[in-house]
């Protein structure tokens, strides 16, 4: 199975990059499954129903969230009728929406998409390890589904790495989101799970993690907020990770970073090109 995960889409610039590149990737790379993190898609904070549909129309099969899940208040309502929208599974009991979803892939197979949020330097919600374990036990790879993608939305790279090893052999891909900077540690772990600490953001990298530089710089240098954070509006880089799995096991065989457009050096999966 060919899987593409697209890192945090930030604002209008990020959405434009998804619309520009994703349909071509789906076609040219014969992608079976596309997962997009959309928690910053609406003006840098949260997601709306219209944007959710826009990302699906561009080729996403599922959309994951994170700590900004409810910044657009309408998400609390429309998530109940949005089966492909996944918020962190370790949010408190009774939170609207779902922490995982089953989707039919473009080649007619089944995939589990799971979202969880870290606790180090973040709001300490329920134990993400226990939440992920419950989901993996309830829907095991190979027995119940053909692929499992875990989006771990987290600040600390150590906690992301721990989740990667915790899931090794039980998920097709564990990928980190939230910090908006792509890491260079993409690898297939010993148990066969593809792993990358952070997929990076899909947004304008002439920015401070996707935001116009002036207000973050002012706060860092003076400690005084003087306005809202606004998403940078320059040409975005689509950042993510490409994974190819073994159809017999659901585990990863290949992994590569994906970067195209904007300021970052391009990176495309050679095993799907040419």
pLDDT digit string, tens, across residues 101-140? 999 999 999 999 999 999 999 999 999 999 999 999 999 9
Q: How sure is the predictor about 274, in pLDDT bands with cuts at 50, 70 and 90?
A: low
CB-side neighbour CA atoms (13 Å) of 61: 27
Digit-coded pLDDT (tens) for 23-46: 999 999 999 999 999 999 999 999
How sure is the predictor about 226, in pLDDT bands with cuts at 50, 70 and 90?
A: confident
Find the mean pLDDT for residues 147-159.
98
Distance in angstroms (rounded) separating the CA atoms of residues 2 and 32? 5
**Mean pLDDT value across the chain:** 97
Contact 259, 267 (CB under 8 A): yes
| Residues assigned a catalytic role | 68
Domain total of the chain: 1
Q: Nearest 5°: phi and psi at 57?
A: -65, -30
**Residue position matching structure tokens 């065989």:** 253
Tokens of 29: 């790379």
- What's 173's domain CATH number? 3.60.21.10
For residue 151, give its domain range.
Answer: 2-272
Instruction: Give pTM, 2 decimals.
Output: 0.96
Q: Which residues of 106-142 are buried (b: 16+ CB within 10 A; e: fewer)?
A: beebebbbbbbbbbeebeebbebbebbeebbeebebe
Q: Quick check: 6 and 80 in contact, CB under 8 A?
A: no
Q: How far apart are CA 166 and CA 176, in angstroms?
A: 14
């Amino acid at each position: 199975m060919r899987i593409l995960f697209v890192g945090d889409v930030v604002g209008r610039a990020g959405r434009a990059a998804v619309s520009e590149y994703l349909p071509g990737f789906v076609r040219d790379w014969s992608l079976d499954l596309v997962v997009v993190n959309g928690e910053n898609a609406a003006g840098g904070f949260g997601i709306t129903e219209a944007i959710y549909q826009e990302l699906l129309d561009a080729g996403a099969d599922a959309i994951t969230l994170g700590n900004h899940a409810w910044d657009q208040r309408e998400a609390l309502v429309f998530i109940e009728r949005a089966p492909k929208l996944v918020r962190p599974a370790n949010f408190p009991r009774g939170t609207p929406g779902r922490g995982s979803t089953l989707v039919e892939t473009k080649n007619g197979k089944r995939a589990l998409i799971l979202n969880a949020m870290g606790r180090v330097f973040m709001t300490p919600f329920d134990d993400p390890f226990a939440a992920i374990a419950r989901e993996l036990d309830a829907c095991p790879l190979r027995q119940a589904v053909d692929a499992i993608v875990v989006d771990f939305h987290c600040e600390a790279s150590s906690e992301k790495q721990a989740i990667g090893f915790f899931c090794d052999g039980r998920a097709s891909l564990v990928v980190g989101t939230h910090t908006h900077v792509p890491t260079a540690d993409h690898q297939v772990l010993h148990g066969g799970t593809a792993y990358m600490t952070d997929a990076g953001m899909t947004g304008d990298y002439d920015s401070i993690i996707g935001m116009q530089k002036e207000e973050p710089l002012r706060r860092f240098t003076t400690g005084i907020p003087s306005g809202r954070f606004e998403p940078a509006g320059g040409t975005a880089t689509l950042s993510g990770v490409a994974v190819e799995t073994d159809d017999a096991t659901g585990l990863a065989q290949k992994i590569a970073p994906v970067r195209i457009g904007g300021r970052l050096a391009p990176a495309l999966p050679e095993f799907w090109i040419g």
